Amino acid sequence: MKKLGSIAVLLLVAASFGFAAPRRDAGGNRVIKVGTEGAYPPYNYVTEAGEADGYDVAVVRAVDELIPELEFEFIPTAWDGIFVALEGGAFNLIASDLAWRPEREEKYYLSTVPYLWGGTQIVYKAGRRDIRSLTDLNGKKVAAGVGTNTTTELEQYIARTGARIEIVYTDGNIVNALTEIETGRVDATLSSIITTQLTADSLGYKIEGITASELPTNSIHLLFPKTEEGRQLRDRIDGALKTLLDNGTLAALSKEYFFGRDYSTREALEANR
């Protein structure tokens, strides 16, 4: 594995953005800057040693091995500024558990090869028996991160059904949503039970989750700026992702980071629900 560049945790202010122009490392490899939230384990996080890790990061590192002329440098970035940072040129792509959305495809280039599949669950305090579906959230408060995949799904569900669900918007950090549940300020949140359970355990919170069958299964993609350079980079990385899918690397990484479960394809996700 090639040595990754040091991680810079950036305070992203629009006026300070610098365009992520191509540059070379000491070995002559082109450096590609990768934005990732760095606060959503096991998808992406920063270790105590200050290194980026998680499934999103591991996939990009595996891509790195297949494209020797590129060197990937990870830039942990707060979720509420990550898209603005990409558009401002702070990095060349985002790897941060991003689901396909029509509005995203209109605005950005997404990898045509998904590197993960996911589904949404309703997460609530352990012991509750009044929440079994989205319908049961009528009249209740739900914590939801601004601009996240699950928040968009919830907003669309409310618009489609007229459900009386009060959304309490957060910054997208699952710790904050779980704390709101623990203190009783909200009734639930929508999230991947995998990362939520991991975080809840670290906080000492007892939670439960149930699959929200009313919400769609999501394909997860890398995201690139809608420029010619972004398209070319997307096409180059797509080939590597297909190789990683076909040779079983994505399945192996999924099992490594998601407690022995393979979510690398839609079929694998359905088998592991």
Is 178 in the same domain as 63? no
CA distance 17 to 37: 17
Residues 183 and 262 occupy one common structural domain: no
93 with 34, same domain: the answer is yes
- State the pLDDT at residue 150: 85
Whether residues 22 and 55 share a domain: the answer is: yes
Residues 112, 20 share a domain: yes
State the residue for tokens 């949140």: 189
For the domain that residue 30 is a member of, what is the CATH number?
A: 3.40.190.10
Per-residue pLDDT of the chain (273 residues; tens, 9 = 90+): 443 433 343 333 333 333 455 565 555 679 999 999 999 889 999 999 999 999 999 999 999 999 999 999 999 999 999 999 999 999 999 999 999 989 999 999 999 999 999 878 899 999 999 999 999 999 999 999 988 878 988 999 999 999 999 999 998 888 999 999 999 999 999 987 777 887 898 899 999 988 777 777 889 999 999 999 999 999 999 999 999 999 999 999 999 998 888 999 999 887 866
Give the orientation angle of helix 174-182 with respect to helix 193-203, to 10 degrees. 60
- 1 found inside a domain: no
Identify the domain containing residue 193 by its residue range: 120-211
> Which residue, among 221, 254, 264, has the nearest Cα to 99 in the 3D structure?
221
Is residue 6 assigned to a domain? no
Beta-carbon count within 10 A of 229 CB: 13
Q: Check residue 4 and give its pLDDT.
A: 41
